[in-house]
Amino acid sequence: MAWLILTGLFVSVSAFAQLDAATLAKRQARKNLVIKEWNTDAKTNTKWLDHVTTYNDKGEKLEEIEYNQYGQTWRETYEYGENGKIVKNVHYDAKNKVTNIYKYEYNSDNTKKKKYNYLPNGKLYTVKVYEYDLTE
């Protein structure tokens, strides 16, 4: 019995700590990358910044900002846990004020378990629970 528990623990910990090869390859390619997307008006040739995505030295997305011709429309920041998964995501409006805070929990196999949606004042608003059904 103890062997089964220990084996189950080992499998859970090893699965939790590893990311798949494709994810690791993508992150490697995005280390310290900043992607800027620009729009150009066809008539006036006026150019404006449309979108900026920033990655850290681990290739994880840190920030994403959407713009229109008049400035920022929204912004999101991301924080990661030891497992390399997003644990906190903060959404800001056009005036750079927090609109929502999302926190995530994961199962031992790195699938999402719960997503908590908080209001700007820190009060819990909703909880989304993820259920995985493998039946056919």
Average pLDDT over residues 64-83: 94
| Domain carrying residue 24 | 2-129
Any domain includes 135: no
Query: Whole-angstrom Cα distance, residue 80 to residue 70?
Result: 31
Model-wide pTM > 0.85: no
Number of folded domains that form the chain: 1
Q: What does the pLDDT look like over 4-39, one tens digit per residue? A: 333 343 333 334 345 678 878 887 888 889 999 999
Tell me the one-letter amino acid at 38.
W
Any domain includes 136: no
Any domain includes 28: yes
Query: Whole-angstrom Cα distance, residue 72 to residue 76?
Result: 11
Any domain includes 134: no
Any domain includes 94: yes
Which sign does the torsion angle of CA 32, 108, 131, 99 carry?
A: negative
CATH code, domain with 7: 2.40.128
Q: What's the pLDDT at 18?
A: 56
Output the average pLDDT for the chain: 86
Average pLDDT over residues 29-57: 93
Residue 1, pLDDT above cutoff 60? no
